[in-house]
Amino acid sequence: MGIECLIDWAEAHATLLWWLAAASVLTFIGSLIVVPWLVVRIPQDYFAHRRRPERARQHWPLALRLAYVLLKNALGVLLIVVGVAMLVLPGQGLITLFIGVMLLDFPGKFRLERRIVSYPSVLRAMNWLRARRGVAPLRL
């Protein structure tokens, strides 16, 4: 039973496997474009403050702020889902997860962000992406 059963299952679900392979390739290519773009957009001193800096969006009309927050959180959830998938599929899973968390709004988020970025491997990866685009490194 073992390998023959697996082969039979793969043959019976060939279409599903092709869709999963295509999604994996698209996710990988998308992450190579979107993740560096988002990392470069983080202000250099974003993590250097003890508290989150004031935002210019506080003066926007309520409807515009609400739409912005809803879209930003939807994108954050999408990036978290894609980041989790990239932990087993090709792509930059940890960085994608981090960017997704950064887009969400929840209590204690800034402390969590600072803690994650303080890991040398994460900071090194993010600063490497920034250096490739000619942007100053993040300061803690």
pLDDT at 54: 67
Encode pLDDT of 89-124 as tens digits: 766 777 778 788 878 988 888 888 888 889 999 899
90/86 Cα distance (integer angstroms): 6
Number of domains forming the structure of the chain: 1
pLDDT at 31: 74
What is the value of pTM for the model shown? 0.60
Is 117 inside any structural domain? yes
Q: Is it the case that residue 1 has pLDDT exceeding 60?
A: no
Is 7 inside any structural domain? no
pLDDT at 90: 66
Count CA atoms closer than 13 A to 74's CA, side-chain side. 6
90/83 Cα distance (integer angstroms): 10
CA-based R_g, the chain, Å? 19
Is 42 inside any structural domain? yes
pLDDT at 20: 75
pLDDT at 96: 78
pLDDT at 74: 95
Main-chain dihedrals φ then ψ at residue 90, nearest 5 degrees: -65, 140
Is 3 inside any structural domain? no
Is 30 inside any structural domain? no
Is 90 inside any structural domain? yes
pLDDT band at 10 (very low <50, low <70, confident <90, very high): confident
Is 18 inside any structural domain? no
Is 23 inside any structural domain? no
DSSP conformation letters of 68-119: HHHHHHHHHHHHHHHHHHHTTSSS-HHHHHHHHHHHS--TTHHHHHHHHHTS
Structural domain harbouring 88: 35-49+56-140
Encode pLDDT of 27-74 as tens digits: 778 777 887 888 899 889 888 887 776 667 778 899 998 999 999 999
